[in-house]
Amino acid sequence: MLRILSLKFGRVYRCGKFLFIVAFFVILLMNTHNLFASFQRNELTDRRFIGLNKCPACFGTSWCRKFMNGQVTFEMWGRLRFLDFFNVKNVYFAQYGEPREGTRRVVLKRLGSNQELAEIDQKICKRATGRPRCDLIQGMYKTEFAQLNGDVRLLTPEVVEGWSDLVHCPSQRLLDRVVRRYAETKDSGSFLLKNLKDTERMQLLMTLAFNPEPLVLQSFPSDEGWPFAKYLGACGRMVAVNYVGEELWSFYNAPWEKRVDLAKQLMDIAEQLTNNDFDFALYLLDVSFDNFAVGPRDGKVIVVDAENIIVADKRLIKQNKPENYDVWYESRYEECDKEACLSFSKDILCSRVTVDHNYYAICQNLLSRFATWRGTTGGLLHDPPANLVKDGRLTALLDQCTRPQKQYGRFQAAKELREYLTELTQLSNTNR
């Protein structure tokens, strides 16, 4: 019986694969004219394609000269517009060239799906006119994005609190940092909002409300050691960031020694974002194999999707002393029927000084046997060598980091896991 079912399934799979290939070539034939046209022109010089015609309802203009001069070009597959159907996240790979520096790979992001971008246009129009459609440029000047005019000196917490994860619980110190490091102005370096032009101010506020990822990358730059991709610039509704490398998922079946090194780096990221000299805790709310990448040369792990990050100011928490602020908070493990699930309370993350959320997120969704992604289970540290299985320490630490059996057990387990992974990494380097 099983043999018959296996044969039937095999035939269905081959038939489905054949139909997919046929459908793909049919689409190619139907788009032959557009196909040749796509290779002949650089759509990244088209104002409408990159959304420059929608400014100031956009993300910035600092890279517009590079786009308009043809210095940024799609890589081959990125030029085929009919493939956009599969590119739901609107993320593209491109080449950026400088006369003296040559070309390098960059990543272009629209910061949302087509539907999400259309929805923000509708929201702007509804706030401005009460209708879902309007002259977007004129509409921007009738929204809250334009109300903070040149007479407003500072960007304050009560104005933007709750607009996005970045400012779920903003402090004045955080907002000053965001304004001072805003890269879409020629006069960056000042925390005074009034020093920005009206259009720059509206672009900053729209980015903060729609998708604050560019502001996270600017406020916590890779040049200062933060584990994020480097922000390069924007033109209209297209943002450019540095290409880091292949996504973490590509290393799921890498040699054991490589996976141990990556796991150690992930735990180091969890520690850095939780405890640092700046007293800002950056909590990762969306942790999956697709949101991290690995450098091809240095093997460094980097966060490549920084949209869903809460920034809590520990200095402000200590100053305001909300209820139970000094009680350690341990995230609760909860079973979920979806991939990359996390359980958390944004309000608690914003009101406690000591929180284990980042350790919990990395262990549960990436490292431990409880991690699930693309139909797999077992996490990045699956199938350890026989001697480690027999020893049992690694499995025990991963389990305690994910599902601690005693109060505050995850804090100790995370510390010991980092140390143990460091030992394993050093041992691997010694044996080479």
Q: At a CB cut-off of 8 Å and minimum separation 6, what does 346 contact?
A: 165, 168, 169, 310
Query: CA 371, CA 361: separation in Å to the nearest integer?
Result: 10
Give long-range contacts, CB 8 A cutoff, 24+ apart: 394-398: 394/420, 394/424, 395/369, 398/363, 398/367, 398/368, 398/369
pLDDT 10s digits, 99-120: 888 899 999 999 999 999 999 9
pLDDT 10s digits, 195-252: 899 999 999 999 999 999 999 999 999 999 999 999 999 999 999 999 999 999 999 9
- Give the bridge partners for 311, in sequence order: 282
Type of residue numbered 368: S
pLDDT 10s digits, 273-294: 999 999 999 999 999 999 999 9
Confidence band (pLDDT; 50, 70, 90) for 5? very low
pLDDT at 82: 56
Helix (H) or strand (E) run with residue 147 in it = helix 144-147
Question: What's 246-431's CATH class?
Answer: mainly alpha
400-to-410, 414, 418 alpha-carbon distances in Å? 6, 8, 13
Phi and psi at residue 240, to the nearest 5°? -110, 130
pLDDT 10s digits, 42-101: 899 999 999 999 999 999 999 999 999 999 999 876 556 556 666 678 899 999 998 888
Q: Name the region of 164 (left: φ>0; alpha: ψ -120 to 50; beta: rest).
A: beta
Query: CA 35, CA 90: separation in Å to the nearest integer?
Result: 19
Phi and psi at residue 420, to the nearest 5°? -70, -40
DSSP single-letter state for residue 313: E
Give the HSE-up count for residue 260: Cα atoms under 13 Å, Cβ half-sphere. Answer: 20
Domain ranges of the chain: 246-431
Q: Under a CB-based contact definition with an 8 Å cutoff, are residues 227 and 301 in contact?
A: yes
pLDDT at 4: 39
Give the HSE-up count for residue 318: Cα atoms under 13 Å, Cβ half-sphere. Answer: 8
**Which stretches within 275-380 are classed as H helix?**
314-320, 346-349, 357-362
